[in-house]
Amino acid sequence: MALEVWQIVTFLSGLHLFRGIEEERLKWIAGQMTELRLREEELVYEEGQEPNNLYFIFEGRVQMTRYRRGAPEEEEMLGFLDQGDYFGLEVLEARTARRTSVQTTTAVVLLCFSAEALNEVFAQVPELIPRLDLMIASFHLMLRTNLDWLNPEEYILYIARKHPFFLWARLLPLILLITIVVGLFLGLYGTLGLSLFLILIAGALAVAGGVGLWIYVDWSNDYYIVTARRIVFQERIVLLYDSRQESPMEQVQSTEVDRSYLGQLLGFGDVRIRTYTGVILFQAVRLPAEVEKIIQEQIKRVQSTLRQAEIRSIEETIARRIGLLPARSGPPGEATPAKPAPTPMQRFMADLFHLRYEYGDTIQYRTHWWILISRIWLVTLLLLGVVFTSLFLLVKAALGQMPEGFPVVGAFLGLMLLGLGFFLRWVYVYIDWHNDRYLITSDQVVDINRKPLGKEEQRAAPIRNILSVEFKRLGIIGLLLNFGTVYIRIGDTLFTFDNVYNPSEVQRELFHRMAVRSVRERQQQAEAERQRMADWISAYDRLTRR
């Protein structure tokens, strides 16, 4: 039976794209949509086909795939889309083929906009244009971005970077500086000579290009992500730092938008997402009010899903107790997605200077590299002094310019022994720094301290016993380089993660692990309560049958 207009209007009013549009216009929009019903495992469209419709899932589930880059014979899973999701955004772009394939996994009811209908809708409802432009940009970025930690079945509903204004705000001073430097070199061309002039110009451009590339990579490595299950902020600093701040949808308490005057002019702002463990900040994202609507829509979906799951769980528990369903043979297993093992290069960098590294459900922190430099700079200078002095002696001896009777061999051997001592000291300090690690697992915090050629000390404590977590950044260097000490009070014992990078992130991660454990314990308590209720109802059922 075909859907009624009021059903479509009710459906559209719950979607972020149509939020704030009057009911009369929603009725008109509903009239522009066509209904499509498909059976399980039917192909909606295939990658490479010409796009002709934008689809909204009124009922059912579909899966989206694409051919893997570099291996066109293999398909890559992009995730499942459910009721309220939409797909087929390629229809909004001229001369663009389908970049993904979509197939149903259940019987589905789809509501479709043809390209012609969309043009009419945009003419009558122009506020849809920037909203869909935002989602097209998100769709393209999702296809270009490889996130190894993401569950293959978890579809990315929204992904973005910080507004490009902040990239140019960092690049323009560099461009201005290199322009001034090149201008100075041009002014000094007559006194420098052609060879020196070209060397200086090439060096300045190479340095500026390297810094500019680093700025771009640093900007492009930060992502704000919304999926059906969670909210994620991923931050990376090349070769130094890799952080992922996330919260399950069910732990989100509220959202708010903050826009400066400049942000209002350029169309960007901050979205603050408050959770049980702190605040996740989507900083300087495009159209922040629309991003907030996306998050709010997912929160309502998750809340509705949890309520329905709780009701089904209660009904199932009672039905099993009174004999309407067979007893469960064992506790339900929870499928955990396999996490990718670190590559050899990742292990190498983690063991070299990486300050934070995540593998499995364990996060490893090390003391900041500034602490290593403060301990090693003097011996490094002495070692370099010995090396250069040895080279100087060798060159002088080879040219026959040493004073007569000077003990070249003895001096060289003495320098070699001295250099060996400095080198061994350098290695000792590095290994001592390298061996101090701080671990956060799913249920423990661990402090590992191992001296080179000495004993290893390891302290561990359960996360459930944490009473408080504080951090301090001390000194101008700590503030500039963003490192400090995290203090973890567990009973009468004080754990310290000394001089770790971004201590506020360490604190947030600990709070997150505490919240996850708390949620798990509440779920276990709820299950125990359901079983107790089922016992009462089962006893009542037996009494009524006597």
DSSP 338: P
Sheet bearing 356-359, strands edge to edge: 356-359, 362-366, 437-440, 444-450, 456-462
- Report the pLDDT value the prediction gives residue 99, as an integer from 0 to 100: 93
- Report the pLDDT value the prediction gives residue 277, as an integer from 0 to 100: 66
pLDDT tens-digit series, residues 175-211: 999 999 888 888 887 777 778 888 888 988 999 999 9
**Average pLDDT over every residue of 450-473:** 81
pLDDT over threshold 70, residue 425: yes
- Quote the Cα angle for 103-91-106, to 5°: 20
pLDDT-derived band at 443 (thresholds 50, 70, 90) equals confident
pLDDT tens-digit series, residues 246-273: 788 888 889 999 999 999 999 999 999 9
Domain ranges of the chain: 1-127, 164-220, 368-435
CA within 13 Å, CB half, 201: 15
pLDDT-derived band at 328 (thresholds 50, 70, 90) equals low
- Report the pLDDT value the prediction gives residue 350, as an integer from 0 to 100: 45
All residues at 6 or more sequence positions from 398 whose CB lies less than 8 Å from its CB, including other chains: none
**Average pLDDT over every residue of 512-521:** 78
pLDDT over threshold 90, residue 452: no
Average per-residue pLDDT for the chain: 85
Sign of CA dihedral 91, 93, 95, 99: negative
pLDDT over threshold 90, residue 16: yes
Looking at the structure, give the CATH architecture of the domain made up of residues 1-127: Sandwich (2.60)
Strands 483-490 and 493-501: antiparallel
- Report the pLDDT value the prediction gives residue 336, as an integer from 0 to 100: 42
pLDDT-derived band at 239 (thresholds 50, 70, 90) equals low
> Which residue would you say has higher pLDDT here, 166 or 318?
166
- Report the pLDDT value the prediction gives residue 35, as an integer from 0 to 100: 94
pLDDT over threshold 60, residue 407: yes
pLDDT tens-digit series, residues 101-156: 999 999 999 999 999 999 999 999 999 999 999 999 999 999 999 887 788 888 99
- Report the pLDDT value the prediction gives residue 175, as an integer from 0 to 100: 93
Sheet bearing 278-286, strands edge to edge: 252-258, 268-275, 278-286
